[in-house]
Structures are given as C-alpha cells and as structure tokens.
Structure 1
C-alpha cells in the first residue's frame, strides 16, 4: 500500500500561529438600508422556510418516509408542549432557563403551524409570546439568553405572519426590538465579537431578529446584519484549516447548528449565504463530527463534551447532506426510528425539515479509517474497516489547556475495542453545580481554580505527566506527522505542555493491527526531569500482572502490555470517590499508572511504549483484582 506522509518539522512547532492571529477571511457584506429594502424577500415565511419549501414539505410528509416520521416526532413533541404550563421567568444561577425552552418550543410549534395552520397551535404560540415578552428583560448579563429568546420570538413572528392579533404582533415585535436587539438600552444591537461559540449563537439570533423587524426598523436591521457579518469570521476562522472544532463535538453541535440556522435564514430571506458555507474549514467540519462518533455511539468527548450522542438523526449533518448530496452525512436509519424511541427534539430538529425535505442523494462515500485535522486543538482518529468486526476506535488530540472549554489533556485519547470503551475521557462536568458554590470555573491562568478539578487537570486524563506537575496552560502540543500506511500512525510534539520539565517530548499512536494500539512516549530529559508517569483512565475492572495489566468489562478482555525499554512500576489508583468533593463522580473510575524515575540530568533518552490489545501473548499471570 502506498503511504502518504504529512509532516511538520518539530523545530517549527513553536511558530504555529493561532488562526485568529492570521489575517481573517471575511464574509461578503453588502448590507445597507437600501440593500435590505431592495433584496429582502417580501413573502413569509422567510426565516429558514419559504412558501415554496413549505409547499414541497407538505407533499413530502405524505410520501417520504423520513419526512413523515420526523414530522410525526415533531407533532408528538408539540402535543407534549401543549400539556405543559406556559413559560415563566426562571433563573438557574446566572442563566435564564426560560430562554432555551422558548426557542425550542417555537421551533416545534411553529413548524406544526406552518404545516397544519392549527388554531390551537396558534393560540399556544400567542400565549407563549405574551408570557416571555412580558418578562422585564431577557437577562442581558448572560447574552446567550437574549439570543435564545430573540431567535424564538423571531421565528414565531415570521412563521405566523399575519395570523396573530395585531395587538399581540405589535407587543411582541416591540419586545424583540427593545429586549432583544436593544437589550443594552442602546440604539445599536449588541454584536458579540468573541472567538468562541457565543459569537455564532448570539450574532445568528441578532440576524434573525433583524430580519423579523426589517420593515419596521430598516436602519437597525441593516446595521445589525452588517455588523454581525463583520464579526462572525472571528469565530468561523477556528474551523480552519481542516474542520476541527476546538471546543469539542458537543460545542460543534451548538455553534454549528446556529451557523446552519443563520445560513438558512440568509438564503431564505436574501437568496444567498454571503460566503458562510465556503468559509475555510466550515464544510470540512462535517467530517470532524462524523469521526467524533465512535462505533459504540459514544463521542470523542474531550473538552466540555457529553460522552453519548442523542439517538436521533443528526439534523446538522443532514444540512451538509442537503448541500452536498453525500449520503454519509444523512443518518436515514436514525431518522426512521419509531417516534417513541427518539430523544426529545432540540431547537434545530423541527426546522431541519426545511433542508431534509430538499435532500437528494448524489454520492455515497467510503470513509478512510484514519482522519486528522490541524487547528487550535488538533485531533486524529483511527477507526476500523466496517467489515472487520473489532469496532476499533481511537480519538487522540494535541492542543493546549488555555482555550475555550479547554482542559489539560494534550496527548490524551479515548479507546474502544470490541464494543467496549476501555479508555475514557471524563468529559462534561455540569457548570451550575460548581458555580452555585462560588467555584471559579472560567479563569484559565496557570494557578486558576479550574485546574484543581480532576476532569480539567492532566491527572484526570490518559496522558504522560512529568514530576507530578500540572501542564503548562499555554503549552501547545502540535500534530506533526500523519501516516496512513499499513500501520497507520500519528505523532504529537508535546514538549511545550511540560513547561521545561523535559527538553523534548513526543507521543506516537500506532494502529499496529486490527485490534492493537501502541502508545509511545519519547522523552529527552532536562536537568529537572525526575519522574514520568504514563496514565490510563478507565472504568474497567483491572488486574495487575507481570508486564502490565488485564482489564475486563462487559464480558470482554483487554491486555495492557508495558513494552518500555527501562524499569517501570505499575499501579492502579481508585478515583471513586474522587479526590475532591466537587470533582465529577464516575462509578468505578480509576487511573492506571506506569511510572519510571530518572536522574535529574539533561539529555537522557527515555522511551515508554505501551500496547493495548485483545491478544494476551506473553503477558504474565494475575495478582488480586483492583
């Protein structure tokens, strides 16, 4: 087999620039009052849906199994909403809980109304609008809440256009202007210029609100859209160059769903997306999300990411399918699951019928078994051939801790084999549980409280630790080599994360066979290097044996073999209960440690080589189970 090598010189690693430091690509931005007045669609709906899309969808619901089943799920969720109380002001910590519920309810009820024109649904939409618009404010101190309210109110006004009582329409529209677009009490809307998901979420909602009030407030509308399109590249640039979303899979879903909604709204209202889809790395991010899902259905859950995805078809990937015709993005089997087996629908899942109804399969792609991407948080993924039966999956990463939702996890990995996730990431720890006791979760300097948590520091990840010290928050681990040959491998340069604790360090992952993974750490010591600890996070039962360990879970067995070229000691540290009361509690959590000590002398070459496999080979007999 011909090999493909993609290599970056190790010496050049330190000069890799964060994407935001480079010149930003821009979106097309012709927005003036005149442009809005001349180009805005005069028809309703014009947010995501158009009259033609609605007409086509009504037909598809009758004849297309996927559209029919999704709409049945939407109707089922709408019926559940009708049984629930009208929304009321509800704060949880610093967040307005009402906000997310409002955008979800309007998505579901609004789509049902577009299809059925049911007066019962219209009345409930009106009641919800009056309730949320009567709230004194939409919590501008946490502007994501303003965004959720604004999106929900905007689509409700658009999808019911002309059918609400005039007094309700005027009352709601005034609230959208004053509590949404002018939430800060200023003449201009707030445009978020951060580089994280807030940018896409908040600015997309402001665009929705601006389109909804364009006839009544043309100057505010044009200014809002113009300024939002100017700010959005600050977040979109982080999809580049290869589609890896730096905040992880869950936040890819959150941020990208809002970008998809924004694109769909701009296309339905103005007939074009102004360069969103072709923004560097954006369309490639669909592959990133595909590879973030392991054979078990679990996610490569680094950063603040949940470990299991919803059982429903992915509505965001379906949008990419509608754009490309590529069936690999269209999860037909999941969309066809019986309604009573589907998860509760989210904000985007109902409006997704607008693009799902337009999907036409054009190509079927066979995905490679290795994928990687550069960026602010580079990753690589190894998978199995779909017919080999082992369910082999490795997700590994570089990056640094001081990044939005980042952890001290450079060099970490999750590992699945034969249907079992042997190597885990602790993933998301609920924010409010920490914030309500005054824990400072969001500061990210070297001595920040965040790094005391097991789920955030390097001692809660499958990494190499040096001298029992925390990683350097600014140290960046670069992906320097990808080889997709007979034995695929990737190499990360992890030197910087140790902050001078070593002179040089790399971590190599090699898929040695269909059911075998090698993790190799090569270290050149500095004059302060004293102890190296190889860590593996797991919830499996563990027996320490001569030369390694035997792991057991769900009637499967994994053999961990220490192939290092020096003396090491192996032990298991129970983390159930975890070190701190505030730490995430995970049943059966433990850390396997393989440790070697060295003389504090620069220039020594240390090699730690560990194999994970379902083949025992010459691994020794067992000691008592831990």
Structure 2
C-alpha cells in the first residue's frame, strides 16, 4: 500500500512537470484579459487584512466550518478522513530534499502534509499534530533550496509553508514563524525574480506553469506581507500582470487546451490565487471574472464520461483524482452548484460504491489540496444542481464536442471528440480523435499520457514539438495511436489546426470537424461528422476529396476490446457486452486488426490488449475524386 502510494505520487509529480514547450510568450493583456492592478507597498499596508488566519481560512469561514461539522454529513465524513490521514502522516518520516533528476517529487507532499495537518489542528487542537507541523516547517525551511531549477517545486512548497504559518500563526513557536517567513522570501520569492535561471519561462508563459508558479508566489507574498510589504507588492503586482497569459486560455467558454489532467493543476492554483487575494486583500482583482474561467468547471464535467473516466487527450490520464475534486469544490462554493461536488471523493469511507477502500484512499492521497478542500466544501450551499446537456460544444484553442444520452438513457451513451493542433502545450497529433462509451464500457479509448521521467532520463526530446521531433515516434503522441483518419501512412502536420465547422444541437445532434490542414497536401479535403442517432447508436461520417498525391486513406479506431471481424465490420466484446462496428459505405470494405500489445517501441506506453482497428481505402478503389466513409457504432446490428 505504502509503496503503491509513493509510486503514484512520484508518477503524477513527474507528469505535471513537462518542459515548457509551446509556452506562447505573449503579452498578458491579449484576448481582452486584463486584471486590475493597483498593487503598491502603500496598497498592501492599507488593505492587508489584520485578521488571523487570512489565507483561504478566515475566522468567519472557520466558524462556518465548525457549524457544518455538526450539521452537514458530507463535511463531517470528509473531515473524519482528513483526521485519519493526519495521524497517518505522523507515522511517516519528515520530508527531505531528495531529487529525481532535476525534480523534487515530494514538493506536492509538502503542501498536502502541511495543509492536512494544519486544518485538523485548527479543529481538534491536538498538540501532537501541532508539534509535527512545527517539525515539518523547520525541516522544510532548513533545506538548502526548494529546487528553483524546477519552479513548480518551489511554488508547491511555498504554498504549503504559507498556509501552515498563516493558519497556525498564534500557536507555532515564534522562532519557527520567523524561520519559515525567511525561507519564503529567500527560497521562493527572491528566486522567482532570477530570470537568468533555467526554466523560468513560466513568468510570461501561458500554460499551467504560469498559474501554478504565480499562484504560489501570491500566497507566499501575502504570508510575509506584514514584514516585507515592498517585496510582497512587487511579487503580487507582477502576478496580476502576467496571470492573464494563462487566464486567456479559458476563453471563451472554459475549455482548457492542455486537457483535463493539466486542467486541475493550473486551475487549482488559479482558484487559490483568487481565494487568498480575496481573503487577504478583499478582492481577486478580476481573476474569477476572466472570460470562461467560471465556466471551466462545466468543461471538466463535460469531459468526464458516465464511467467516471475523462476524455484523456493532451497528455492526460483518464481518472478523476483528488485535486480535480478539490478545485471543483471551490467552484461549487462560488456558484452554489451541487453538480460540481464529486461525492464519492468526499464520502470515503462511508460510500458503499467504493468497494476497495485502499483504492479510494490512494485516490484521495493523490490530492495535494485535500486539506484545503474541506474549507471549500463547508462553503457550499447547494442552491442548485445543473444537468449536463445532451449536446455540448466548447469553443477555444482546442474545440471539444460532447454528446450524451437523454434523461431516459439506460445505455450511458457518451461521445467526446476534439479538434485543435499538435502545437498546443501538451498537445498530440490527435485532432479529430474521440472516445466512446456505451453500456458502461469505454469501447473507443485514447492511450493517454505516459511517464515522462524514463524518457527524460535517456535524453528523449519529449518537449520538442517540431515536425521532425522524436516526440512523434511515440504511439501516445503521434496520429497512429488515436482514433482518426490517416492519409498515406504519414504523420499529421503538427501545425495543422482542426476547427468545428458545424454543430447542430437538434433531436439528432451532430458536429463536423474540418481535418484538411492535417494532411500537408496529401488529400484535397477531409471533414469528419459525428451523429448521435439515438441512445445506442453513433454514426461517424468521413467525407473526403482526394488529389493526385492521395494513395491510401486509413480509418483508425483504438480499443482494448476483443475484436471479431464480420462481413461488413466487426463485433467488439468487453466485460460480457458487445458493440457492433458496421461499415455502411462504401460497400465491400473489410477491417484489419493491428495488435499494439506490445507497443511498437520499447519506450512506448504498454497497454494490455491494445489494438488498432483499421479500414483501408486505396485511392484506386474510389470512383471519381470523392468518397464518403460511414461507420456506425451500436449495440444493435445494422440492417
């Protein structure tokens, strides 16, 4: 159990730390996103709250939390878990600065441990827990550094220390508070201004690093603002100038181009920035009002299927983890929308659906914001619970379309498809791909992310997104590992952009993506349309026009189901259920089954029973220059 937990924490920390490619170093005020920025030393001195605590937890929110612990079963149950977790932390060794390559994997543990212990101490006032908080703070503050060569580590450590000294300001030894504040300044805030250091592109960048690092520095600055208001003002002012770079990525409707996995990382710290600024200075200066930001919680629900797995595009895994559940609780607290609460996460250990308690425990331990989540959960009023629409189109750099079953759906129909470009941060050659669920089974899968550390260790150019980069040799990254259409067996044009050109939210919804730019002139045009015929049937139409360069058009579908070829398609079998794949047009086409277990390269992600179903159409097979490939996925045979 302990080893598995450690492995999960390490893998997820590595995953969050992909190099800063595609940072898009643009001005912070683009796309109309501009935050108020009146921050000066005088402003800090005048407006900094005199109450204690003042970062997320305040006297009023603490009073509400203690009331909810008496009246709200969900809050009470979740706190019981946190209390258990606090005592488990007591049995673990103090954190040490031990690097894996150039990363400090336990930075997330610094935040998780300090926030969990601190919120439990605020409620129970157990001196044993306070002593451990003190020991952790002294140990962390005494590190030689917080690893500024990988500033995500600095930010996460700094946030944990800031919350711990703020929440326990009146009970920790004064020497510890002094030591921790000195560490915040010397090991976090001042190094953040060393722009000549490695990997400092986050300052002006637009991906999740921008949100995480500036968010952590805001919290650190507010924690030391009473002693050094000038340094705090300089740091917070910079953050308000630069945060729009990542905030604009949510416009116009909350879709996050980096996918659901990195959504929860960057969005969590954006929520933290908003929260600490409001509680300490009285306003978040417009963060929560940025175009699309409050809508992004809807995006996160939309890209989660009935199975509970996410549409795992853009270097994402498929699971909903603790950090996602925590930040959604912040959105629930802001909006009163109960749909944002992932009850199974907060109901452990009293949820009968979680049959394997250890699995639930591991899921919760993944959450570095576990302690903070209790405060957000207690603030939820559940004034309303919105229902997800049957057809949803999220606009943005990576347009997403989702179709679901209606209110009477017993088949758990779910389609999620994407457009966009491979040049997006964490982007892959997967524009036009989709995942599909029916009857509780994910039949069409995405291979998802793979562990970065073994690749970085051998010098693999994972962060290079140029057309000839070795990144595109990996099955998880290139178009041969996704459910799309490939032409002439060639890689996609990494610069090619795929928009949604038609969307109909009718009784029979449909959406069309234009894939033409992906093929670098190997085909004249190709458009892909998804049609939800009913709650048990999806029709995929690929309309294309060939040219002299077109030799072979290959339709691809990724699955881990068993596949049995039929006269006009295939039968997929998984967990005692079936899905029919029927080729409606052209006639006389057969499928091919390409086993990808093992994957082509030793360094590829290995997925048990993975295979690619192909439908190959040679150019000479077509009459004229056009073609229409129609494939139906249904639990009933086509006529």
Normalising by structure 2, report the TM-score: 0.91
CA distance in 1, matches of 2:130, 2:39: 33
Pair 1:501-2:522 in alignment: yes
Q: Does 1:299 align with 2:320?
A: no
Paired position in structure 1 for 2:155: 147
Is residue 96 of structure 1 aligned with residue 96 of structure 2? no
User: Does residue 461 of structure 1 match 2:472?
Assistant: no
Helix, strand or coil at the partner of 2:630: strand
**Residue equivalent to 2:10:** none
Taking a change above 3 Å as real, the CA distance of residues 186 and 391 of structure 1, as seen in their structure-2 partners, is closer
Question: In the alignment, is the contact (CA less than 8 A) between 1:408 and 1:458 conserved in 2?
Answer: yes
Q: Deviations over 1:424-456 (max 9, x none)?
A: 000010111211122111100001111000010
- What is the CA-CA distance between 1:302 and the residue it aligns to? 0.7
Contact 1:401 1:410 in 2 (8 A): yes
Q: Partners in 2 of 1:491 and 1:198 — Cα distance? A: 33
Aligned to 1:221: 232
Which of 568, 589, 610 is the equivalent residue of 1:568? 589
1:27-426 map, 5 Å: 27-183=35-191, 192-310=203-321, 314-332=325-343, 334-338=345-349, 340=357, 341-342=360-361, 343-345=363-365, 346-426=367-447
How many equivalent pairs are there? 601
Q: Residue in 1 aligned with 2:354?
A: none
Q: Distance in 1 between matches of 2:195 and 2:617?
A: 63
Determine if contact 2:253/2:395 at 8 Å carries over to the other structure.
yes
Q: Give the whole-Å Cα distance in 2 for the aligned partners of 1:407 and 1:225.
A: 34
CA deviation vs aligned residue, 1:96-152 (integer Å, no higher than 9, x gap) = 112111011111011112222222111111111111122111111111111111111
- State the secondary structure of the residue aligned to 1:259: helix
Q: Which is worse superposed, 342-351 or 280-289?
A: 342-351
Give yes or no for contact 1:77–1:344 (8 Å, CA) kept in 2.
Answer: no
C-alpha separation in 2, matches of 1:184 and 1:36:
20
Aligned 8 A contact 1:461 1:536 in 2: yes
**Distance in 2 of aligned mates of 1:245 and 1:79:** 36
Corresponding position of 1:515? 536
Take 1:82 and 1:320, find their aligned partners in 2: how far apart are those partners?
31
Distance 2:630 2:30 in 1: 37
Unaligned runs of 5+ in 1: 1-17, 619-626
Q: Is the 8 A contact 2:27 2:245 kept in 1?
A: no
Q: 1:271 to 1:171 in 2, by over 3 A?
A: same
Structure 2 stretches of 5 or more lacking a match?
1-25, 351-356
CA distance in structure 1 between the aligned counterparts of 2:311 and 2:248, rounded to whole angstroms:
22
Q: 1:585 to 1:184 in 2, by over 3 A?
A: same
1:494-518, Cα deviation, whole Å (9 max, x unpaired): 1111121111111100001111001
Corresponding residue number in structure 2 for 1:9: none
Superposition deviation, residue 186 in structure 1: 5.1
Structure 1 residue 19: deviation in Å?
11
Q: Secondary structure at the match of 2:364?
A: coil
TM-score (norm 1): 0.92
Q: Quick one: distance in 1 between partners of 2:610 and 2:65?
A: 48
Q: Distance in 2 between matches of 1:546 and 1:55?
A: 68
How far has the Cα of 1:366 moved from its partner?
2.7
Bigger helix fraction: 2
Q: Which segment is superposed worse, 330-339 or 316-325? A: 330-339
Residues 523 and 617 of structure 1, relative CA distance in 2, 3 Å threshold? closer
CA distance change for structure 1 residues 294 and 55 in 2, over 3 Å: closer, same or farther?
Answer: same
The residue that corresponds to 1:10 in the other structure is none
Q: Deviations over 1:455-482 (max 9, x none)?
A: 1000000000000000000000001111
